[in-house]
C-alpha cells in the first residue's frame, strides 16, 4: 500500500489553518471534498465518524503525529491526505504533546487489510526522524508529494 | 539477573493489530521495566512503541512472539497475555471519560 496508492495530492495541506482537533479533521476532510475524492454530502458524516473513533482513544500516537481515520460506506477504496500544522494542535495525544503531522484515512468498511497496510507504511516512515523533519519543513503540497514518492521508491528497494 | 520470557500469540483481531490494539499493547508494555520486543513477519520491533507495532502490519492469523527481558519479565508476559486472551476488548471502560471531566465540558 504505497502512499501514491491512497494519498490525494490535491488534498495535501502543508500549512493547515485549524488549531483544534475537530478543526483539523474537518479541514482535512473538506480538502478531500475539494479534491473530488469524497462527496460534499458525506462531509459531516465522515467528520462525525472520525471524531467518534477519536473518542475511543486518541490517534495522536505521540511524537507529534496523529492518524485520524474511519471506515465509511461512501468510499469504495482507501483515500487519505496529509496535513502539517506549524504551531501544533492539541490532539489529546498519548504523550501529551501537540501534533504537527496528520495522516487522515477513510477506508471502505470491508477492506481491513488495506487500512492496516496504509498504517504500516505511515508508521514506518514516521519512525524516521528525517522523514518527519522534512515533512514539517515542506513549503507546499508538491514538496510533501515528492517526499511521499521518495518514501515509496525506497520501500520498493528495501 | 535479567531473565527473558517469551510467548507466542496469534492475532485474532479481525482487522489485525491496528491503531487501537497497538495502543493498548504499547501502554501495557510501558507499565513494565523489562525490555519488550515483538517478533513477527520477519521483523523485531519495540513493543513499547505504537509506531513500531504498527509497522508489523500484523493481520488476523499472524503469529507474534513477545519477548520480555528484565526483572519483571514474567509478569509483563502474563499481563500482555491477558490482553490477547481478551482479544484487546478489555479497555473500553478505561477509555470512557470520568464523570468529573464530562461535567466540565
Per-residue cell: B96: 470512557
> Given pLDDT bands bounded at 50, 70 and 90, which one contains residue A157?
low
Mean pLDDT of all residues belonging to chain A:
92
Give the ipTM.
0.71
- Please state the domain count of chain B: 1
Alpha carbon A148 to chain centroid, angstroms: 12
pLDDT at A41: 97
Cell of A105: 484515512
For residue B18, which residues of chain A lie inside 8 Å, CB to CB? Answer: 112, 115-116, 119
Task: Name all domains of chain A by residue range, CATH numbers in brackets.
Answer: 3-157 (3.40.930.10)
Residue B89 to chain A, least CA–CA distance (Å): 12
- Domain at B56, CATH number: 3.30.1340.10
CB contact under 8 A, B52 and A116: no
Task: Report residue B29: phi and psi, to 5°.
Answer: -60, -35
DSSP assignment string, A64-133: TEE--EEE-TT-SS-EEEEEEEEEEE----TTS--EEEEEEEEE-TT-HHHHHHHHHHHHHHHT-HHHHH
B46 domain residue, yes or no: yes
DSSP letter for each residue of B35-104: EEEEEETTEEEETT-HHHHHTT---TT-EEEEEEEETTHHHHHHHHHHHHHTTT-TTHHHHSPPHHHHHH
Catalytic residues of B: 18
Nearest to A57 among B15, B23, B49 (CB): B23
| B59-78: pLDDT as tens digits | 999 999 999 999 999 999 99
Burial class (CB in 10 A: 0-12, 13-18, 19+), A45: middle
Say whether pLDDT at B92 is over 60: no
Inspect the interface and report whether the beta carbons of A65 and B52 lie closer than 8 Å: no
Instruction: Please report whether residue B105 resides in a domain.
Output: no
* CB burial readout B84-94, b (16+ within 10 A) else e: beeebeebeee
Q: Find out whether A14 and A144 touch, Cβ atoms under 8 Å.
A: yes
User: Is pLDDT at A158 greater than 80 in this prediction?
Assistant: no
pTM: 0.82
Measure in Å the smallest separation between the Cα of B26 and chain A Cα atoms.
10
Is residue B103 included in any domain, yes or no? no
User: Which H or E run includes B4?
Assistant: strand B3-10
pLDDT(A39) > 80? yes
Range of the domain at B23: 3-88
> Do the chains contact at A127 and B23, CB–CB below 8 Å?
no
Amino acid at each position: 500500500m504505497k502512499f501514491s496508492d491512497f494519498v490525494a495530492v490535491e488534498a495535501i495541506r502543508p500549512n493547515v489553518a485549524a488549531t483544534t482537533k475537530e478543526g483539523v479533521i474537518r479541514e482535512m476532510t473538506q480538502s478531500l471534498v475539494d479534491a473530488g475524492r469524497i462527496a460534499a454530502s458525506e462531509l459531516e458524516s465522515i467528520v462525525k465518524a472520525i471524531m467518534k473513533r477519536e473518542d475511543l482513544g486518541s490517534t495522536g500516537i505521540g511524537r507529534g503525529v496523529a492518524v485520524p481515520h474511519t471506515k465509511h460506506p461512501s468510499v469504495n477504496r482507501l483515500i487519505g491526505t496529509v496535513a502539517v500544522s506549524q504551531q501544533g494542535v492539541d490532539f489529546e495525544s498519548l504523550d501529551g504533546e501537540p501534533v504537527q503531522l496528520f495522516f487522515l484515512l477513510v477506508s471502505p468498511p470491508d477492506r481491513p487489510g488495506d487500512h492496516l497496510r496504509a498504517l504500516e507504511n505511515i508508521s514506518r516512515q514516521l519512525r524516521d526522524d528525517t522523514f518527519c523533519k522534512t515533512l514539517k519543513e515542506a513549503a507546499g503540497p508538491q514538496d510533501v508529494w515528492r517526499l511521499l514518492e521518495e518514501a515509496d521508491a525506497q520501500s520498493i528497494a528495501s | 539477573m535479567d531473565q527473558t520470557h517469551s510467548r507466542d500469540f496469534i492475532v485474532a483481531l479481525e482487522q489485525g493489530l491496528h491503531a487501537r490494539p497497538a495502543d493498548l499493547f504499547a501502554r501495557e508494555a510501558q507499565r513494565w521495566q523489562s525490555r519488550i520486543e515483538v517478533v513477527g513477519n520477519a521483523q523485531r520491533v519495540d513493543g513499547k512503541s505504537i509506531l513500531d507495532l504498527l509497522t508489523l502490519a500484523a493481520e488476523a492469523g499472524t503469529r507474534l512472539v513477545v519477548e520480555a527481558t528484565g526483572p519483571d519479565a514474567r509478569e509483563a508476559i502474563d499481563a500482555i497475555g491477558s490482553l490477547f486472551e481478551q482479544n484487546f476488548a478489555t479497555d473500553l471502560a478505561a477509555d470512557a471519560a470520568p464523570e468529573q471531566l464530562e461535567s466540565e465540558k
